[in-house]
Structure 1
Amino acid sequence: MLALLLLFTTGLAAQKKPTPKPVLVKPDTTVIITDTTRHFEERVMQNLKQLSERKTIMGKLLNSLLEFDPKDEVLNLDAELIEREYERHNYKVVRNIRIVTQDAFGYSIQDTTLVPDNWLEKTGNIFHAKSKRNLVRNKLLFQKNKVLEPLALVESERLLRQTDYILDARIIVDERTTTDDSLDVIVITKDVFSLGGSGSFSPSSGSGRVTVRELNFLGLGHQPEITYRFNQEKPRPWEFAGRYSIENIGRSYITADVAYINQNYYKEKSAFLHRDFYATNTRYAGAAGISQVDERILLPPTSADTVPQFGNLGYTRRDAWLGRAFKFKTYNLGYEPRGRMIIGLRVVDTKYNTTPTANFQSNQLYLGSIGYSVRKYYKDRYLFGFGRTEDIPAGSIVSITTGYEDGTVKDRRYLGASIAYARYSANFGYLYGNASYGSFIRDDAWEQGMLQVQSLYFTRLYENGNWKLRHYVQGRATFGLNRNPEELLTINNNEGLRGFNSAMLRGSKRFTVNYEANLYTPFSFLGFKLATLAFADVAWLSAGNKANPFNSKPYTGYGLGFRFRNEYLSFSTIQILFSFYPRLPANEDISSFKVYEVSRPYYDFTDFRFERPGVAEFR
């Protein structure tokens, strides 16, 4: 597959195809652009399409595997979510809001005349509860008979699209009925098939796992999830985890989360109410809740250890915070500045009932933060999805956090700061970087400190007919400064080398570099699209607070894989990876080769919304 990626990239470079300029059209206009260039791959796909139309076994097989005419493909999608797209409608009165909700299968946001045309799509919609109109209405930042504020339309569309149970959304101003002082708005949303789950089974041990989730129960936005494990190893054969979430209660944007987890080495009971800075013009955010946790944690290793050592930790935590955003005045009528000054206060009360070492103390932590955030969003495709519209956060944020810990054994101060920046363009790609530092201070000594630096870059989307390619590069550095002995880093899975898992390999400083190439193919079966990937991971890890991680030889991982996803279903992306690790820990029995399945994405965006004040997380 590496040869295929190289051939694909070389072909793109040889074409030197000029980048087309954006086409500006009315919001309710669908643009279809035909590329007259005849590439070799296009001729191959055309021949395959002709074969698929024949009434032969091979024709039927090709017709079921290949997707020649995607229904929801929008060509020349304008990448930027332009702030001034609807500025001529700012401060007009909204007369009517027409909401059109679509089932998961057979419908299209771009062409509302399309309907399910086969029994499979019709049957799937029977078992799906379509989102209620009031559920969609509660997401909107504008109301009937109220003045339309700047950013309300584009921000509402983004919020709908980022909802778990909505695949895509489009908000249109009805230009036919618009007047100088009022307008009508049409909101179109398309659901995903919200009922989903996953599972696994090992024939050798008879153990397995079953997970069932519903992202939009009865179309009301409730999200229950249950996971059950059976025939597990000692000390107990079963494990259970249940979660229930109610999103956006009323129009308050307050979400309620309840969780009960009963596993062998981790137990949790928690309940929280929280409201984020969900939009750029949100003024208030906060949360309040309580959690009770009992878990087993790794203890510091010694040179004589051949197996990992564990200790029990149990605590009850009460947590509450409140944030307020302030926008700056503007004298440009109709223009909403994106910059916000934000202040947040937080109180955390932690009571330990079981501790493995003396480094855990019950305490009350008081934190305060002040920050400045600039947020904007762009639209693109084939980033983490397989063709759906995705919102790319860009902007900058800087914050300073200070606080005081009132402990049962010792008192100390806290000081932290962070800065992040990201830019995006259709030709350049996406570049993100952040740096943060935080440490407790006691008797003029700095302890439990952490310095973290992270960067992420992905290229623009290279297209060659129906084939699409994108490259990803990520760098991360985490340095612990005077950390407690039991606070250790790993390079397992998402923390360093994907698929790697070592219980003994731990340290206090870590540096990782990850590379990935994603090739999106035109192959599709029953709505599941296929992408192939190649990756290379490198990680340096050091032991001790003063050791340099680059003084030791790095650990590496290389591999190939396949990725499947059906955008109309709530199932996570299915990834099957084949990996190889040239260097392994000397005191562990770990295979150099591994084949494994994973659903969690390795890369993700970091939004520029202000989060609750907190202590820098060391993991």
Structure 2
Amino acid sequence: MGSPAVAQVVLPDSASMIKFQRQDEFYDSLANRANRNKFTGWLYDVLISPPRPYVDKKALALDYFNQYEGMVIAKIEIEALEVFGPSFTNPDKKVDNWAERFANTIHTKSNLKTIEKQLLFKIGDIIDPELMYENERLIRKLPYLKDVKFVIEQDSIYSAFANVKVLTKDRFSFGASGGVNGTSSGDIRLYNKNIFGIGHEFSVKFVGHLNQEPYLGIETYYKINNIGGRFLDMELGYLNTFRDEGFIYNLEKPFITEEIKWGYGLSVNRLFRTERITNDDPIKFEEPLNESYYNLWAGHSFNLNTNNENLTQLTLTASFHNVSFFEKPKIEPGNEHLFANRSMYMAGINLTQRRYVQDQLIYSYGITEDIPEGYKHELLYGYDANEFGDRHFFQFETSNGNLLLSRTGYVFMSTGIGGYFNKGNFEQGQINGELEFITKLVSAGSKQVRSFINLSYTLGIERYDLEYLTLRRFDHIRGFNSRTAIGQQRFSAKFEHVVFLPRQFYKFNMALFGFADLGIIGESNKLIFTQNYYSGLGVGIRLHNENLVFETFRFRLAFYPFHPSDMSFVGVVLDEQSKSRFMSFEPVQPYPKPFE
């Protein structure tokens, strides 16, 4: 067997090297002065970061695969490494403590047939570098895998042939979570993201309440990923808690790759008792609802050019969803449409372009992350067959995300408008916009530093009285839990500075963060900057082990100046934080944007 080729890092040119040498001299001098005092030295490490040459990791990966382009795949070998101990660079490394050895013993490694179903190539295919790069990205998205690497070796006898070795690194698939809501309710959740190593997921949550029946309830879900290697996912759920009782079924094949020409999905919910009309509905009701909901959608994509690097696609989509109420709460005049028995027929057209670059330490801790670049423009039309009067629906959204040309950061922008037309009147409409900027990862002594800035704006147009916006979600002011700060117009600005620490805490990676959030909320018919201001300031620490399927543990201390009367000035929280996700720019089912 031949030796695997190693991708070469392209160094900056001589002019750039001189530039960085002068910058290094300046920052070294500044660092020497700052380190004369412990406090100023710490501030230098956290706040001041010398620039470093940009390394294009996608280019390095493609350079590696390009060396074998056109060769025929003669053999495919799959090797699943233990959760703890070995790595891609040191596959023979042994674990160094009893806990990790025990965890490796009870963990079932991913079944090799399951990994094989994720591959987009087979024996006899010609090596395509872009396909290899895309396939690694898709496998990395699996919740039970930490990372994947394709190692290619040219055959020692037949130079036109190559052997592919697929190395995978599992996460420990067992997990647990829980929480307490005030003094009357709480829950604990147990789950496994890779049952028997075949990629199935199972979770069970026990939900308790001191005053509402059932006093101890259950939520359980079973999910099958990538059925038959066709990227088709299915989920079954049963709920019986003080909040919800019923059954849930989901089947979906999303457009996760540009090679998928048909996407489709089916969702069926039968809830005998629930607090919300749909799972993502922001409105919570005191009186339980008895309803059924089902949704069916399909779409087909067309390639508009053959440029693999910047492939533009046109996607046509259609959907049908129905909501039927068997019991309705008492409602005030003017809010009837919220509880209408209705059927919605929708059609959409999407123009998309997407590609991915690689980086680290954005939303994860030391593993490869795939950053989407591209755009998505979507136009929707819908016909609402409603028991209180039929309506027409229109929505337009556009979004764009790219690394800046200077590689100083990532920028994402989106804006949209949508709503219903009823007898010539525009109602239940909204205008929204978002701007997000993520700085590049820079060195600060032995630490790594990155900042996040997010601006968002939402304006409701002729919304119903029961529809309102809040600042309570993590998306706006972190830890803000007021139920009185509501309105139909909202502006929020969030800033976060994150310091990724090089040391570990019992195998958990650590990140310190500080944040400053501003939220303005109020009526829709007034200028937003003349309305109610709220803010949050705080610091915290996050702990995460990428070898585990656990969410990120977070401890946060926050202060809320000019806080509402139903919350305190200081907030201390120890909880879990789900990993944030990038907008992927992939076509999805046509659906009205939630007002939340």
In the superposition, the TM-score normalised over structure 1's length comes to 0.82
Root-mean-square deviation (CA), in Å? 2.8
Residue in structure 2 matching 1:94, options 47, 64, 73: 73
Cross-structure match for 1:47: none
Q: CA deviation at 1:383?
A: 0.6
Give the direction of change, closer, same or farther, for the CA distance of 1:180–1:320 in structure 2 (3 Å limit). Answer: farther
Q: CA deviation at 1:298?
A: 9.2
Moved more, 606-615 or 488-497: 488-497
Alignment of 1:366 with 2:339, yes or no, is: no
One-letter amino acid matched to 2:286:
F
Q: CA deviation at 1:600?
A: 2.4
- CA deviation profile, 1:57-107 (whole Å, cap 9, x unmatched): xxxxxxxxxxxxxxxxxxxx8255766763464554322111111121001
Give the direction of change, closer, same or farther, for the CA distance of 1:460–1:155 in structure 2 (3 Å limit). Answer: same
Determine the C-alpha separation between the residues in 1 that align with 2:485 and 2:127. Answer: 57
Moved more, 355-364 or 574-583: 355-364
Cross-structure match for 1:252: 230
One-letter amino acid matched to 1:401:
L
Residue in structure 2 matching 1:378, options 311, 334, 357: 357
One-letter amino acid matched to 2:570:
F
Determine the C-alpha separation between the residues in 1 that align with 2:51 and 2:530. Answer: 46
Cross-structure match for 1:197: 176
Alignment of 1:607 with 2:584, yes or no, is: yes
CA contact (8 A) 1:473 1:514 kept: yes
Q: CA deviation at 1:6?
A: 9.6
CA contact (8 A) 2:146 2:546 kept: yes
Cross-structure match for 1:53: none
Q: CA deviation at 1:345?
A: 1.1
Determine the C-alpha separation between the residues in 2 that align with 1:148 and 1:400. Answer: 37
Give the direction of change, closer, same or farther, for the CA distance of 1:525–1:12 in structure 2 (3 Å limit). Answer: closer
CA contact (8 A) 2:302 2:313 kept: yes
Determine the C-alpha separation between the residues in 2 that align with 1:346 and 1:84. Answer: 42
Q: CA deviation at 1:138?
A: 0.8
Report matched runs for 1:39-188 at 5 Å. 78=57, 86-87=65-66, 89-90=68-69, 92-149=71-128, 151-177=130-156, 181-188=160-167
Cross-structure match for 2:443: 463
Alignment of 1:238 with 2:271, yes or no, is: no
CA contact (8 A) 1:519 1:531 kept: yes
Give the direction of change, closer, same or farther, for the CA distance of 1:445–1:5 in structure 2 (3 Å limit). Answer: farther
CA contact (8 A) 2:46 2:499 kept: no
One-letter amino acid matched to 1:323:
G
* Matched length: 547
Q: CA deviation at 1:142?
A: 1.0
Determine the C-alpha separation between the residues in 1 that align with 2:113 and 2:136. Answer: 15
Q: Percent identity?
A: 24
In the superposition, the TM-score normalised over structure 2's length comes to 0.85
Alignment of 1:576 with 2:555, yes or no, is: yes
One-letter amino acid matched to 1:615:
P
CA contact (8 A) 2:410 2:439 kept: yes
Residue in structure 1 matching 2:369, options 390, 402, 406: 390
Determine the C-alpha separation between the residues in 2 that align with 1:81 and 1:285. Answer: 32
Cross-structure match for 2:28: none
Determine the C-alpha separation between the residues in 1 that align with 2:382 and 2:73. Answer: 45
Cross-structure match for 2:488: 508
Give the direction of change, closer, same or farther, for the CA distance of 1:89–1:178 in structure 2 (3 Å limit). Answer: farther
Q: CA deviation at 1:275?
A: 0.6
Cross-structure match for 2:249: 271
Give the direction of change, closer, same or farther, for the CA distance of 1:294–1:421 in structure 2 (3 Å limit). Answer: farther
CA contact (8 A) 1:489 1:508 kept: yes
- CA deviation profile, 1:199-221 (whole Å, cap 9, x unmatched): 3469x958642210100001011
Residue in structure 2 matching 1:19, options 52, 61, 67: 52
Alignment of 1:595 with 2:572, yes or no, is: yes
Determine the C-alpha separation between the residues in 2 that align with 1:417 and 1:242. Answer: 37
Cross-structure match for 1:287: 265
Give the direction of change, closer, same or farther, for the CA distance of 1:342–1:419 in structure 2 (3 Å limit). Answer: same
Residue in structure 2 matching 1:530, options 507, 510, 525: 510
CA contact (8 A) 1:298 1:311 kept: no
Q: CA deviation at 1:525?
A: 2.5
Q: Please give the secondary structure, in 2, of the residue aligned with 1:310.
A: coil
Determine the C-alpha separation between the residues in 2 that align with 1:537 and 1:338. Answer: 38
Cross-structure match for 2:26: none
Alignment of 1:618 with 2:574, yes or no, is: no
Residue in structure 2 matching 1:355, options 314, 325, 328: 328
Q: CA deviation at 1:388?
A: 1.2
CA contact (8 A) 2:310 2:354 kept: no
Cross-structure match for 2:500: 520
Determine the C-alpha separation between the residues in 2 that align with 1:149 and 1:424. Answer: 25
CA contact (8 A) 1:470 1:518 kept: yes
CA contact (8 A) 2:538 2:558 kept: yes
Determine the C-alpha separation between the residues in 2 that align with 1:6 and 1:507. Answer: 43
Determine the C-alpha separation between the residues in 2 that align with 1:185 and 1:225. Answer: 35
Give the direction of change, closer, same or farther, for the CA distance of 1:182–1:441 in structure 2 (3 Å limit). Answer: farther
Q: CA deviation at 1:405?
A: 1.3
Give the direction of change, closer, same or farther, for the CA distance of 1:534–1:369 in structure 2 (3 Å limit). Answer: same
Give the direction of change, closer, same or farther, for the CA distance of 1:207–1:507 in structure 2 (3 Å limit). Answer: closer
Determine the C-alpha separation between the residues in 1 that align with 2:188 and 2:45. Answer: 44
Cross-structure match for 1:429: 409
One-letter amino acid matched to 1:280:
E
Determine the C-alpha separation between the residues in 1 that align with 2:205 and 2:188. Answer: 6
Moved more, 492-501 or 134-143: 492-501
Give the direction of change, closer, same or farther, for the CA distance of 1:7–1:342 in structure 2 (3 Å limit). Answer: farther
Cross-structure match for 2:457: 477
Cross-structure match for 1:338: 311
Q: CA deviation at 1:591?
A: 1.5
Alignment of 1:322 with 2:355, yes or no, is: no
CA contact (8 A) 2:223 2:233 kept: yes
Q: Please give the secondary structure, in 1, of the residue aligned with 2:532.
A: coil
Q: Please give the secondary structure, in 1, of the residue aligned with 2:577.
A: coil
- CA deviation profile, 1:224-245 (whole Å, cap 9, x unmatched): 0111123534354223211110
- CA deviation profile, 1:428-459 (whole Å, cap 9, x unmatched): 11110111111111212111111111111111
CA contact (8 A) 1:229 1:240 kept: yes
CA contact (8 A) 1:291 1:318 kept: yes
Give the direction of change, closer, same or farther, for the CA distance of 1:256–1:309 in structure 2 (3 Å limit). Answer: closer
Q: CA deviation at 1:601?
A: 4.3
Moved more, 515-524 or 257-266: 257-266
- CA deviation profile, 1:29-75 (whole Å, cap 9, x unmatched): xxxxxxxxxxxxxxxxxxxxxxxxxxxxxxxxxxxxxxxxxxxxxxx
Cross-structure match for 2:21: none
Structure 1 unaligned regions, length at least 5: 23-76, 300-307
Determine the C-alpha separation between the residues in 2 that align with 1:110 and 1:528. Answer: 20
Q: Please give the secondary structure, in 1, of the residue aligned with 2:474.
A: helix
Give the direction of change, closer, same or farther, for the CA distance of 1:335–1:9 in structure 2 (3 Å limit). Answer: farther
Give the direction of change, closer, same or farther, for the CA distance of 1:186–1:592 in structure 2 (3 Å limit). Answer: same
Residue in structure 2 matching 1:407, options 378, 386, 390: 386
Give the direction of change, closer, same or farther, for the CA distance of 1:14–1:197 in structure 2 (3 Å limit). Answer: closer
Determine the C-alpha separation between the residues in 2 that align with 1:83 and 1:613. Answer: 35
Q: CA deviation at 1:530?
A: 1.6
CA contact (8 A) 2:51 2:442 kept: no
Moved more, 417-426 or 551-560: 417-426
Determine the C-alpha separation between the residues in 2 that align with 1:104 and 1:382. Answer: 20
CA contact (8 A) 1:561 1:577 kept: yes
Give the direction of change, closer, same or farther, for the CA distance of 1:5–1:78 in structure 2 (3 Å limit). Answer: farther
